[in-house]
A and B are shown apart, each in its own frame.
Chain A
Amino acid sequence: MPPRLNILGAGRSLAIRSRPSIASQQPRILNAVSRRGYADEKDQPPSGPNENVEGHVSEYEQEMSRITGGTKPDIGQGTPVQEILERDEEGKEKAPEVIKEEIDGSKASANDNLTTFANLLALGQMENIAAGGHGSDPVTVGHKYGIPQLPLASNLNFKRRYDPVVNQVTNLIMRHGKKSVAQRNMSFILNQLRTAPPPTPNPSRPLLPGSPPPSHLPLDPIGYLTLAIDSVAPLLRIRSQRGAAGGGAALQIPVPLGLQQRRRTAVQWILDAASKKKSRGSGKGQFAQRFADEIISVVEGKSGVWERRQLVHKTGTSARANLNYGVRGRRSL
């Protein structure tokens, strides 16, 4: 196919450019100095146009105090001009009138000598004590509550600020997109766990190894909830492969689950059990009450959810021969 001829296209490659409005700062021809060899000098040559300058006054002062062993100024804060002028006789004479007046003492403020770092720190501690706190409370001069430690904690991202289990369960008990109602229910559940008497675990239904003693659970309701869900969460699910067992029968294949999926399954089972319960009272918190009761009965080993878990695990064990179904099946095709 011959290339299409485009008459208009010919003009497009012809750019009409006006003179640049701002002349380039970089000289087109490098000056002689930059071509000098720096091999005999200790410092590396400056790479940019403005890098070969002294630090500003505070940086200079900090460097000096490092050498002389004096108090360093805080780089994070600007150094007041007055402080610099105190050491600089020449600068004092050339200072603007306003500052000269101030130096004369006619308008000197009482706070002038409070701005050093050590003073600010001490002041912050005293303020803490005055506000009813303790001197050991965090004080950072320059930032009101200090800079967070790096690496950042996992819950410092605002999307992950709450406990992951609480978050997941809240979303799972949400219906019709009403998250606020779900959150209210979650709060009710946690408070119910806090006020209910401590559970008595059943030794035949062991909880997660390393779980705290039951008497510690009510005061840690999030831990209580996590323990119940993680203890009853299944390790796997059963996938039914249709027609793979021959004769149209489904082949059951165990599939391992990730942490979120395990918890999700457990919560769904608990939700099923809770919704089948009968509420004993009336009012808003009835569902939450039943859910909390179910959590308690899970920890006490009374819940039917344990049977469901056992059934899944038993099926998984008996169907473990089918684990390599996918590999063999594909090869045989």
Chain B
Amino acid sequence: MASSNCWRCLSRPANASLLPLSRPSFSTTAFVAAAPKASTKAPARAKGEKTLRIKKKAFVKTGKPPAPGERKAMRKRIVLSNTNALEVAGMKDLDAEMVDSMVRGEDAVLDGALQSKGETHEDVVGKVVGLKGETVDSLRAVEAFKTTQGWGLFRRPGLLIREESVELCRRMTDAAANKKALRLVIDGEKGSGKSLMLLQAMATAFVKEWVVLNIPEAQELTNAVNDYTPVDGTKPTLWSQNTYTANWLGQIGKANNAVLQNTTMRKEYKLPIPVQSNISLARLCELGARDPDVAWPIFQAFWSEITNPGRRPVLICLDSLSNIMQTSSYRAPDYSLIHSHDLAIVRHFVNLLSRPTSGLPNGGAIIAATSRSHAPISKSMELAIKQSEEKAAQLRGWPGKVTQRDPFEKSYDERADKALQNVEVMRLKGLSKVEARGLMEYWAQSGVLRSRVDEETVAQKWALAGNGIVGEIQRGALWMRI
């Protein structure tokens, strides 16, 4: 994200001449004190002496160079459609009804009752469902799609419904119905579909008309690429990242426009800019997005509005959790490193994730996913996840003990420990063979997988992918990484 420089922030200015400490336009040094200029002429050669002279080839410019920012834009571009791929016939779209039926089916199975008529979750598990146009727009606005995912190979985005997604769907729906907050950490091996599970949660939330806030990559918050400034009157000092917040507010407003434009402000807030009373929340987001200086107070006002009783449920997601479970790369004026939890947005998220009493009176979910490919190792997070899983297993009758912290380990982070004390964990494993088959059949129907999909090929790919790790199945069968 590009940062605009402001006087209060500590980041390095883009334009040095703006600094008050820039060089004065005059000099008091006496001219005579200056060292005499060395003559540029080479000393004369003796007569008859030969020297080797090699002329350098001049650099020949050909063609028009790419415009500034163009190359990066190309790298970050997200393509969601491939016109060469075939349209998959009979692919259903994810909508509110489907979500309801998935939850109903799950309940029917749990009760052991006969399944209700129509579509049950048994029908949907292992199928790929499409995403509606407006859902795709919203997901794109919150940056839920990533460049590393294979969206660009298919006619339109589709999601595989797996057992875990039905489970997540059910728990989100339950949380909304009981007006509670689902606090969840999604973990799993590299390539097991954690980010896609987040995307699925967001897609579900969008079709159920929740308000969705997404932090697509936690490292953008903590690796000191954004401007930051202390928030007045906070002790210990809280740091807000204004440009990031402004951009984030813009994304939130754009993605949730359908919900927010019909929601008006109820309360009055003390904001640094005059804001009309009873404007829509979409407009409020716009105001915050326009001016980074007021973005953080406006975000606070926005948050207190959407958590007013009677509003829609809220989903807040974050990817690659371990980035915010340690000190950030930002520095305080005394040159000490700022802890991630002292950054305003991170603090906001961590408070929601760690507090057992619901920060969401209208219900909703706070979901964080870990990253196993490009993320720092956070010992505290690993321990918390392990302990949480073991506690859950004990509740189901597992006889083992809960892992204790290693007394000789120095790199635990106290604040991270506290934040993740009683968080629930959802572990993603490999796909089942039914799911793997459904996915591969979708690829074959799209025309991008040119092989027979039968039990044998599915079993082959499934076994070679470490018992169905979906990223590995994709790597072998879809990306043709051979």
Contact = CB atoms under 8 A, between A and B. Distances in A.
A280 B153 contact: no
Contact of B84 (A131, A162, A219, A283): A219
Interface centre among B70, B74, B480 (most CB of A within 10 A): B480
A194 B82 contact: yes
Contact of B71 (A190, A197, A280): A280
Contacts of A280: 66, 70-71, 74
A137 interface: yes
A25 B71 CA distance: 83
Contact of B152 (A132, A187, A195, A197): A195
B8 interface: no
Specify which of B448, B454, B482 lies most central, judged by the most chain A CB atoms within 10 Å of its CB.
B482
Contact of B82 (A132, A166, A195): A195
Contact of B85 (A190, A196, A219): A219
B481 A281 contact: no
Contacts of A166: 482
Interface string B68-84: 00111011000100111
Contacts of A190: 480
Contacts of B71: 280-282
Counting chain A residues whose Cβ lies within 8 A of the other chain, the interface size class is 20 to 34
A281 B458 CA distance: 37
Given A191-B480, A194-B153, A194-B448, A132 B433 contact: yes
A315 to B, nearest CB: 29
B455 interface: yes
Interface string B429-461: 000011001100000000110100011101100
Contacts of A283: 75
A221 interface: yes
A131 B462 CA distance: 14
Contact of A220 (B63, B86, B438, B450): B450
B480 A187 contact: yes
Interface in A118-145: 128, 131-134, 137-138, 145
Nearest to A197: B83
B480 A221 contact: yes
B433 A131 contact: yes
Contacts of A131: 433-434, 455
A329 B433 CA distance: 69
A134 B453 CA distance: 11
A187 B66 CA distance: 26
A184 interface: yes
Given A132-B437, A133-B437, A219-B447, A278 B459 contact: no
A303 B438 CA distance: 41
A194 B455 contact: no
Contacts of A134: 454
B22 interface: no
Contacts of A234: none
A198 B455 contact: no
B62 interface: yes
A183 interface: yes
A191 B482 contact: no
B479 interface: yes
Given A194-B448, A221-B480, 9 more contacts: A131-B455, A132-B126, A132-B433, A133-B437, A137-B454, A187-B481, A191-B152, A195-B79, A198-B84
5 contacts: A132-B433, A195-B82, A195-B153, A222-B480, A278-B63
Interface of B: 62-63, 66, 70-72, 74-75, 79, 82-86, 126, 152-153, 433-434, 437-438, 447-448, 450, 454-456, 458-459, 479-482
